[in-house]
Amino acid sequence: MGQRNLLEFFDNPHPGRNYEIVHIAPEFTSVCPKTGQPDFGTVIVRYIADRKCVELKSLKMYLQNYRQCGIFYEDITNVLLDDLVGVLEPRWIEIVTKWRPRGGLRSIIRAQQGKRPAD
Amino acid sequence: MGQRNLLEFFDNPHPGRNYEIVHIAPEFTSVCPKTGQPDFGTVIVRYIADRKCVELKSLKMYLQNYRQCGIFYEDITNVLLDDLVGVLEPRWIEIVTKWRPRGGLRSIIRAQQGKRPAD
Amino acid sequence: MGQRNLLEFFDNPHPGRNYEIVHIAPEFTSVCPKTGQPDFGTVIVRYIADRKCVELKSLKMYLQNYRQCGIFYEDITNVLLDDLVGVLEPRWIEIVTKWRPRGGLRSIIRAQQGKRPAD
Amino acid sequence: MGQRNLLEFFDNPHPGRNYEIVHIAPEFTSVCPKTGQPDFGTVIVRYIADRKCVELKSLKMYLQNYRQCGIFYEDITNVLLDDLVGVLEPRWIEIVTKWRPRGGLRSIIRAQQGKRPAD
Amino acid sequence: MGQRNLLEFFDNPHPGRNYEIVHIAPEFTSVCPKTGQPDFGTVIVRYIADRKCVELKSLKMYLQNYRQCGIFYEDITNVLLDDLVGVLEPRWIEIVTKWRPRGGLRSIIRAQQGKRPAD
Amino acid sequence: MGQRNLLEFFDNPHPGRNYEIVHIAPEFTSVCPKTGQPDFGTVIVRYIADRKCVELKSLKMYLQNYRQCGIFYEDITNVLLDDLVGVLEPRWIEIVTKWRPRGGLRSIIRAQQGKRPAD
Amino acid sequence: MGQRNLLEFFDNPHPGRNYEIVHIAPEFTSVCPKTGQPDFGTVIVRYIADRKCVELKSLKMYLQNYRQCGIFYEDITNVLLDDLVGVLEPRWIEIVTKWRPRGGLRSIIRAQQGKRPAD
Amino acid sequence: MGQRNLLEFFDNPHPGRNYEIVHIAPEFTSVCPKTGQPDFGTVIVRYIADRKCVELKSLKMYLQNYRQCGIFYEDITNVLLDDLVGVLEPRWIEIVTKWRPRGGLRSIIRAQQGKRPAD
Amino acid sequence: MGQRNLLEFFDNPHPGRNYEIVHIAPEFTSVCPKTGQPDFGTVIVRYIADRKCVELKSLKMYLQNYRQCGIFYEDITNVLLDDLVGVLEPRWIEIVTKWRPRGGLRSIIRAQQGKRPAD
Amino acid sequence: MGQRNLLEFFDNPHPGRNYEIVHIAPEFTSVCPKTGQPDFGTVIVRYIADRKCVELKSLKMYLQNYRQCGIFYEDITNVLLDDLVGVLEPRWIEIVTKWRPRGGLRSIIRAQQGKRPAD
């Protein structure tokens, strides 16, 4: 993977408050590591920042970077989570990935880290 | 049934986390053991992996294997659950099957195993 | 009513598990004992089996048997419950009947027996 | 009011069970006692019978009897409740009336009597 | 029927123009001449006035006047049409009545008179 | 068949006008002549009367009369049409029947007679 | 009426072209001349300008001016049309007013002037 | 394909009339001749019979017969059309097949034969 | 206005064919020339190119250029049309602008130029 | 472009009939030639075959081949049309491409070739 360095951040302008940030990316595409065929899905990032917020254009570039990458649904969901945790150190974060059908099967993966603070 | 060996798995890439995996298969078909007529339904697999994740193409092939198999709704739901439990040893798993009408009756079967851990 | 003998069962293939079985019959018809006019409704059977599961075709035939039977909504709902309890001895069971309008009034009856075990 | 005698009942065929009975009457009409104008509403009767169940056709006739009756929304809701309590002596009963707009205002009245037993 | 005299009109304030007027009355009720039971329906009046427009409150009172009147669906639809034609002498008029179910049957009647002029 | 005599009519109260009459019966049931199993469907009658209108209660009784009758979808649709044509001699009439699924197949049959006059 | 002078216009910036202009005002209110009660409705103005376009703020003020005005639905619809025709002299114009229920009746009035040119 | 002989017919009970018959089969499944993977689709048969009507149970058995058959979408649509034309010799017939996604692509095929007569 | 020069084009890659191009811009904003308040709307550009196609990024920059510009709805719609006609010289073009409510009024303006050729 | 050779065809199994074939590909992705950013869209192919039908898997591979290709919306729509015309020589064909928003703008392109024959 190793693309974590593409993620840029800016200082959370209001760290004294627990507020929710959601980014929805319906144009995610990667490649199935087994068949070499493209996969298509929606990535939903939902977090409560501590000291850092992810910069949106860098998040776009980071996600685009998986375009030719062969990786399982379960793995990419956790890698996204790990990379965002590593860069942002949020108070709480959740990643949901929803995939278009393959072989008649459609999948949804949901992972989170941290305990969500009260708003 | 003995098709359990069709199920392949890969190592859970992130076993340190309780994250949810859902696979939805709306093209399931088997055969009624009483009438010999085909049955059609949707199979929903929802689980929290421990050390193993089911490989998606093998899950498709495993489910297709019931195409000519005569089996009751209640049985197939539990067999799917037992086979996935046997291969994956998940922390928690639930199988729901929703069937198209037969003789004016439509059925839904839901079974689970394990105690769902907090995310 | 005495049609209980039409209900056939098969051995619960997985008695070690508390799993939910739902059968929905939107084509139920009986006769009003007061007016002789036909009634139409949907019957929903929801249960957790112990040692026996109701066989679907026999359930269809059993329900069809009320086609010419004169019986009140409240009564048929409880008779269905009693007959299924008598034949299946389930751990828990609920019957809901929803009726099409008669004289501008539509009715819903809901009855259950047993204490629903945790899944 | 005094129409309570129009309500007929039959013996609860299954008094040993706490089961819910719901009757929905979307064609209720009475007259506003202030303006003499007709009111239109839906009456919902929901109860758990003790020894008596209301007979449906008599309930229809009873409700029709208010067609020319001048009575406030709040009053009719409670009179329906009192009359059904008086005739049925149910374990628990609730009446909800939902009214079509008058003067740009629409109203909903809800009243109950008794403590609802567990199913 | 003879209630035509309840209908009041006012002078079409703009007789030089063919413009469409629609009144929708969802609270119509009359009585079935065969069973004595109340019927409920929606009346839609659509017309292009010549010299007279129906006054809305009188239309309401006129329609309320059928509350105790025993009359078939087909008849009332045409009587409404005839009465409005008689009083308004419109350039074109259409009446649609849509009825709530009776005996499991619901009905719609549609009648018009005159040739609709271009706007 | 021979139930045509159950259909009663009343004189069209407004024969000078071509107006449309629609009756929708969603509770039709007959029996499959091949399997003996009950069929369920919706019958839609749409016509422009000449001198006679079908009486609604007799239409209900006529339709109920097929409850135990074994007859194909195509046949019943045309028999309904023939019987109503025979009794009413309408200017134009159309019958549509829409059937609930049998063996995974659902059917719609549509037949008419006469040329629909302009309103 | 006499409020026509509240309507301001600006020169059609592109009189060489037949283009459509639509203004939708869902907050119109006037007073019933018979009962003194407020009426509420939506006014839709649709026109093809010739040399003048209505200025939007003046249209708002003009419409607000009817707040205390007692006027029938049919009249106000035509007055709006006449006033806009008088001020704008459009190539074609249509006014639709849709009213909230009064006495259980809701009304829609539609009037136009001129022949709509091809775009 | 040679399964045409599975199709049974019965005499059109009303050949003097052009009426429309529609059968909708949402549980069709065949096999892709290229990949050996199952395909799933909905088959819609719409026709005006001449002397013969297709018997519904035989149509179900005929369609089930493609369960293990390897055949392209375009071919099966035309084969269904040819077989039904061969057996029924209808006045007009249309077949539409709508397929679930394969490789991210979903397909719809529509073919007809004969000129549709006026009703 | 004078921003026409911001619009860039590229050579129509397939000028031998009449094909339709649609661009929908839901984020347009300009300023009301009367009140100085911001207006928000959707701009829809639909055209059949002759020798030139509008480059999408330049269209975005061109539309953004109106952010501080005070201009009426009717005017901007026609200016967009004139500018695109001036730069692209299309075979046919239509502009629709749909505006968010101002003062309780929402507006839609539609203009086109040229005669649309057959595809 | 030069990927036309990826398209495989099979002989139209029923060339004597004008029947419609539709393939819908909602997972198309290419690259903007100006910004290097990925574009996402849905491609709809609709045609009436002459002697050749496009093989579905090859169509998938052909469409995937644009994954890294920099090309304008207008161009790719026509290139798809030209390639399919070149390989299939259909009687009539239409391509529609619908694109996800870029810079706040979303686009739809539609092109066809040939004159559609009657079915």
Please name each of the domains of chain D with its CATH number: 4-107 (3.30.1130.10)
Task: State the pLDDT confidence band at G103, using cuts at 50, 70 and 90.
Answer: confident
pLDDT value, residue E2:
52
Task: State the pLDDT confidence band at A83, using cuts at 50, 70 and 90.
Answer: very high
Rounded to a whole number of angstroms, the distance between the first and last alpha carbons of chain A is: 33
Residue with the larger pLDDT of the pair J74 and G103: J74
pLDDT value, residue B38:
95
* Chains I and B lie in contact, requiring 3 or more CB pairs less than 8 Å apart: no
Of C37, C100, C104, the CB nearest to E100: C104
**DSSP element (H, E) containing C30:** strand C20-31
Instruction: Please write the tens of the pLDDT for every residue from H6-37.
Output: 999 999 999 999 999 999 999 999 999 988 99
d(CA G45, CA I2): 31
Q: Looking at the annotation, which residues of H are catalytic?
A: 32, 39
pLDDT of D104 over the 90 cut = no
d(CA G6, CA D66): 52
C100–chain F Cβ distance below 8 A for any pair:
yes
Record: contact F35-H57, CB cut-off 8 A: yes
Q: How many CB pairs under 8 A join A and B?
A: 66
Q: Which ipTM did the prediction report?
A: 0.92
What's the token pair of residue C83?
């007959």
Tell me which of D40, D59, D66 to substitute to probe the interface with E (most E C-beta atoms closer than 10 Å): D40
Cα A21 to the center of its chain, rounded Å: 13
Record: contact D100-G103, CB cut-off 8 A: no
Chain F hits for C65, CB-CB cut-off 8 Å, are none
Chain E hits for D64, CB-CB cut-off 8 Å, are 37-38
**How distant is the Cα of G30 from the closest Cα of chain D, in angstroms?**
14
**How distant is the Cα of J19 from the closest Cα of chain I, in angstroms?**
21
**Contacts of C106 by beta carbon, 8 Å cutoff, 6+ apart:** C98, C99, C100, D23, D24
Phi, psi of A68 (to 5 degrees): -110, 15
A36–chain H Cβ distance below 8 A for any pair:
no
Task: State the pLDDT confidence band at C118, using cuts at 50, 70 and 90.
Answer: confident
Instruction: Please write the tens of the pLDDT for every residue from B21-35.
Output: 999 999 999 999 988
Task: State the pLDDT confidence band at A3, using cuts at 50, 70 and 90.
Answer: confident
The string of DSSP codes covering chain G is ---GGG--EEE-S-TTS--EEEEEEEEEEEE-TTT--EEEEEEEEEEE-SSEEE-HHHHHHHHHTTTT-B--HHHHHHHHHHHHHHHH--SEEEEEEEE--BTTBEEEEEEEES-PPP-
Instruction: Please write the tens of the pLDDT for every residue from A53-81.
Output: 999 999 999 999 999 999 999 999 999 99
Nearest CA in chain F to B102: F103
Nearest CA in chain H to J21: H109
pLDDT value, residue J93:
98
pLDDT value, residue J2:
52
Of C103, C108, C110, the CB nearest to D60: C103
How many residues are there in chain H? Answer: 119
Mean pLDDT of E37-63: 96
B40–chain F Cβ distance below 8 A for any pair:
yes
pLDDT of A92 over the 60 cut = yes
* Chains G and D lie in contact, requiring 3 or more CB pairs less than 8 Å apart: yes
Rg (C-alpha) for chain H, rounded Å, is: 14
d(CA B71, CA B34): 9
Determine the 3-state secondary structure of C81 from DSSP.
helix
> What is the percentage of chain H residues whose pLDDT exceeds 70?
98
Instruction: Please write the tens of the pLDDT for every residue from G78-87.
Output: 999 999 999 9
**Contacts of G23 by beta carbon, 8 Å cutoff, 6+ apart:** G44, G45, G54, G56, G59, I105, I106, I107
Chain D hits for C103, CB-CB cut-off 8 Å, are 56-57, 60
pLDDT value, residue I34:
86
Q: Write the secondary structure of H14-71 as one string of H (helix), E (strand) and C (coil).
A: CCCCCCEEEEEEEEEEEECCCCCCEEEEEEEEEEECCCEEECHHHHHHHHHCCCCCEC
Q: Write the secondary structure of H58-102 as one string of H (helix), E (strand) and C (coil).
A: HHHHHHHCCCCCECCHHHHHHHHHHHHHHHHCCCEEEEEEEECCE
d(CA J53, CA J106): 31
Per-residue pLDDT of chain F (119 residues; tens, 9 = 90+): 558 999 999 999 999 999 999 999 999 999 999 889 999 999 999 999 999 999 999 999 999 999 999 999 999 999 999 999 999 999 999 999 999 999 899 999 999 999 999 87
pLDDT of B119 over the 80 cut = no
Record: contact A109-B13, CB cut-off 8 A: no
pLDDT value, residue C3:
83
Record: contact C74-D53, CB cut-off 8 A: yes
> What is the percentage of chain I residues whose pLDDT exceeds 90?
86
Task: State the pLDDT confidence band at H3, using cuts at 50, 70 and 90.
Answer: confident
Instruction: Please write the tens of the pLDDT for every residue from J49-74.
Output: 999 999 999 999 999 999 999 999 99
Tell me which of J32, J74, J85 to substitute to probe the interface with I (most I C-beta atoms closer than 10 Å): J74
User: Residue C102, Cβ neighbours under 10 Å: how many?
Assistant: 21
Hey, CA dihedral for E53, E57, E59, E61, is it positive or negative?
negative
Mean pLDDT of C71-88: 97
Mean pLDDT of J85-89: 97
Record: contact C112-D19, CB cut-off 8 A: yes
Beta bridge partners of D29: D40
Of J72, J82, J105, the CB nearest to I59: J105
**C53: annotated active-site residue:** no
**How distant is the Cα of G81 from the closest Cα of chain D, in angstroms?**
27
Instruction: Please write the tens of the pLDDT for every residue from C14-62.
Output: 999 999 999 999 999 999 998 899 999 999 999 999 999 999 999 999 9
**Dihedral (C-alpha) B67, B73, B79, B82: value to the nearest 10 degrees?**
140
Please answer whether residues C76 and C43 qualify as being in contact, where contact means their C-beta atoms are separated by less than 8 angstroms: no
Record: contact D19-C110, CB cut-off 8 A: yes
Cα F49 to the center of its chain, rounded Å: 14
Which residue from E98, E93, E67 is spatially nearest to E3, judged by alpha carbons? E67
D100–chain G Cβ distance below 8 A for any pair:
yes
Mean pLDDT of B110-115: 96
**Contacts of F2 by beta carbon, 8 Å cutoff, 6+ apart:** none
pLDDT of I11 over the 90 cut = yes
pLDDT of B1 over the 70 cut = no
pLDDT of G19 over the 60 cut = yes
E108-111 own/partner pairs: CB under 8 Å, 24+ apart: E108/F20, E108/F21, E108/F22, E108/F24, E109/E73, E109/E74, E109/E77, E109/F19, E109/F20, E109/F21, E109/F22, E110/E77, E110/F19, E110/F20, E110/F22, E110/F119, E111/E77, E111/E78, E111/E81, E111/F14, E111/F17, E111/F19, E111/F20, E111/F119
d(CA F76, CA F53): 21
Of E24, E49, E57, the CB nearest to G106: E24
Q: Which amino acid is at D89?
A: E
Which residue from E26, E61, E72 is spatially nearest to E45, judged by alpha carbons? E26
pLDDT value, residue B2:
53
Catalytic: which of I32, I50, I69, I82? I32
Task: State the pLDDT confidence band at H103, using cuts at 50, 70 and 90.
Answer: confident
CA distances from B74 to B96, C49, I34 (A): 10, 10, 71
CA distances from H43 to G104, H40, H98, I38 (A): 47, 10, 7, 53
Determine the 3-state secondary structure of F81 from DSSP.
helix
Task: State the pLDDT confidence band at I2, using cuts at 50, 70 and 90.
Answer: low
Mean pLDDT of B11-20: 96
> What is the percentage of chain A residues whose pLDDT exceeds 70?
98
pLDDT value, residue C2:
53
pLDDT value, residue H97:
98
Please answer whether residues B63 and B77 qualify as being in contact, where contact means their C-beta atoms are separated by less than 8 angstroms: no
**Dihedral (C-alpha) J86, J87, J92, J98: value to the nearest 10 degrees?**
-90
Which residue from B19, J103, D31 is spatially nearest to A85, judged by alpha carbons? B19
Residue with the larger pLDDT of the pair B43 and J103: B43
B5–chain F Cβ distance below 8 A for any pair:
no
Chains that touch E (3 or more CB pairs under 8 A): C, D, F, G
What's the token pair of residue J6?
């990826």
